Chain A
Amino acid sequence: MKIMAIKKMIVPKMLLSVVLLLPSLFVHAVTDTDLAADQPIKRSRLLVTGGATTIEGSAGGGIVPMAVISGYGAQEEQSATAFASYVDTGDYQLEVIGGSWSWRNRVELSIAQQKLTHDSLTAALSLPSDSISQRIISAKVRVAGDLIYTRLPQLSIGVQHKKNLDFLVPAAVGAKDDSGTDINFTATKLILGGLLHRNLLLNANFRYTKANQTGLVGFGGDKNNDYELLPEISAGVLVNRHWLLGTEYRQKPNNLSFIKEDDWQTVFVGWFPNKRVALVAAYVDLGEVATFKDQTGWYLSLQGSF
């Protein structure tokens, strides 16, 4: 009987304390994740500093890579990411999945599998297939500087080895090779309080490439079969530490006389609720893509960090 009485006393008390604790649990839910007090801790770099994942698998925005190393691993840590992205411009859809591993905020290795669906093109030209896939294996090394803590911007060099897996259509429009390797020279700087006391992200990349539409339409062409060094830039503002508003511009080669290739632009919003998840939505303007003009549309990308 005594035990029952005590139990009766304890249970309401516990309930009461749980109810009282609930608001504080709610308030602290985010902070505990941010603290990364869970072990093993592998995400010590600050929120957003791992960037999102580009459609080619390298850390960056949506179409322009940044010098940042993927994930949140600091110089004594490792990190990994996985991502899935989707772009729809009406006549084309691009699906990308992939992941990365990074070591000591120094080296980033990544892989991305792209699938471009081109139903409109298939119908217009009576093509035998309706999609082109490409696999990209990349490595990036941070050469010097730190995104935040040094005056020098973070400088990285990256290589992206691309293999087009459905070369039939690219070959038919004049592409020379089914594989190619882009080299990226990238500088990125986060200026604390740089714009209206908001943190300002500035990024420039020079890409040594001969890839047509990132390689989905092969490499090199009848008009130009040489590698070129092309500029890509992006900039963003962190409204607070969770929300990044930005824009990107990527100059493109124009190697094929049969199909014109335009430069790409995006305007994006990135949401980084914590160091595990990032979600990016963008409006993209890809210009003319393989005979279809004004390819504008939406981009969504989800990234998980481990």
Chain B
Amino acid sequence: MLLRPMLMMSIFLLLSACTSSPREPSLYDALGQREGIANITHQMILNFAQDERVKHRFKGVNMQKFKIGFTNYVCALVQGPCEYQGDSMKTIHAGYNYTNTEFNAIVDDLILAMEQCGVPVATQNRLLAKLAPTYKDVVYH
């Protein structure tokens, strides 16, 4: 009786194996290159400013510097022609004891920023998949 769900599962897996067609734009291009990433970052910062969960964390932070740093970080992460010269995610966040709640809030604000910038769902998910593994370097250190 497990046959039918097994079949459904294999169809899911087969489909996912065929996802990367050769003509698909790179994630960097899909995000609108460096300018697109900078726009998303800008919108995300505006969202931070309205978000009670995290806005206190940015008091005294040079947001212009943050914007350039985050833009370059994402740009480099998605194999764009940028050099991220900042510290590692682990080093930057060490000692602040950022919480699971705050990490979720940041992701919420990023998703919202991408929605506001009209980034398609597929592109959003591709970027989130790249960023999600940073969780272990950011939270509770």
Given contacts A31-B115, A44-B108, contact A247 B122 (CB under 8 A): no
Are A75 and B100 touching (Cβ within 8 A)? yes
What are some 15 contacts across the A-B interface (CB < 8 A)?
A35-B47, A35-B112, A36-B108, A41-B53, A44-B101, A74-B99, A150-B135, A196-B122, A233-B9, A235-B8, A235-B9, A241-B121, A249-B4, A263-B1, A265-B5
Are B126 and A31 touching (Cβ within 8 A)? no
Tell me which of B12-20, B31-39, B77-85, B87-95 binds A.
B12-20
Q: How far is the CA of A198 from the CA of B104 in the complex (A)?
A: 19
Chain A residue nearest to B134 (CB atoms) is: A149
> Inside 8 A of B128's CB, which chain A residues have their CB?
192-193
Given contacts A197-B126, A198-B125, contact A235 B112 (CB under 8 A): no
Contact of A194 among B2, B16, B121 (CB under 8 A): B16
Q: How far is the CA of A249 from the CA of B8 in the complex (A)?
A: 10
Contact of A31 among B2, B12, B116 (CB under 8 A): B116
Q: How far is the CA of A197 from the CA of B128 in the complex (A)?
A: 11
Are B99 and A76 touching (Cβ within 8 A)? yes
Tell whether B103 is near chain A: CB-to-CB under 8 Å: yes
Are B52 and A39 touching (Cβ within 8 A)? yes
Chain B residue nearest to A146 (CB atoms) is: B135
Given contacts A35-B50, A35-B112, A37-B52, contact A74 B125 (CB under 8 A): no
Which B38-88 residues have C-beta < 8 A from chain A? Answer: 47, 50-53
Chain A residue nearest to B116 (CB atoms) is: A31
> Inside 8 A of A199's CB, which chain B residues have their CB?
125
Cβ distance B29 to chain A, nearest Cβ, rounded Å: 14
Are B112 and A44 touching (Cβ within 8 A)? no
Which A177-205 residues have C-beta < 8 A from chain B? Answer: 192-200
Are A195 and B16 touching (Cβ within 8 A)? yes
Q: How far is the CA of A241 from the CA of B124 in the complex (A)?
A: 10
> Inside 8 A of B108's CB, which chain A residues have their CB?
34-36, 44, 46
Given contacts A46-B107, A46-B108, contact A198 B121 (CB under 8 A): yes
Are B50 and A200 touching (Cβ within 8 A)? no
> Inside 8 A of B116's CB, which chain A residues have their CB?
31
